[in-house]
Structure 1
Amino acid sequence: MTKSFYILGFLTTFILGIGAMFEFLVWPCRGMIVFAGFLLLNFGLVPTYFYQKYKSVKS
């Protein structure tokens, strides 16, 4: 895996963690933070993971 994958994974986990904390504490903007975390997960981390796997199988 590349360094960018690990950085993207950390950012996704961090944003979802902050969103979960905002959910439990019932603070404002919690829905937008969780939504941004899931967007980053679905359109950033998962495609990057499968692309890295595709590259490693192909070579």
Structure 2
Amino acid sequence: MKKSIYVLGFLTCFVLGIGAMFEFLHWPWRGIIVFAGFLLLNFGLIPLYFYHKYKNA
């Protein structure tokens, strides 16, 4: 479970970083990449993190 949080956190940061790079360089598809990164963050990483904290408490 903890390893899945780390993997999902890495993927989220990677996608958001690539989206920020695309945004900075004004390349196409930048909005979709940033949106996908925020979707991973809001519907993947944060709920999984709080579920893990709930199970350990």
TM-score (norm 1): 0.94
**Structure 1, unaligned runs of 5 or more:** none
For residue 14 of structure 1, report the CA deviation from its aligned partner.
0.1
Q: Which stretches of structure 1, 4 residues or more, deviate above 2 A after TM superposition?
A: none
For residue 12 of structure 2, what is the aligned residue in structure 1? 12
For residue 25 of structure 1, what is the aligned residue in structure 2? 25
Aligned residues: 57
Q: Give 1 or 2 for the bigger CA radius of gyration.
A: 1
Q: Report % sequence identity.
A: 77
Partners of 2:16 and 2:43 in 1: CA distance? 14
SS at match of 2:13: helix
Q: 1:3 corresponds to which letter in structure 2? A: K
For residue 56 of structure 2, what is the aligned residue in structure 1? 56
Matched, 1:47 2:47: yes
SS at match of 2:28: coil
Partners of 2:3 and 2:47 in 1: CA distance? 15
**Structure 2, unaligned runs of 5 or more:** none
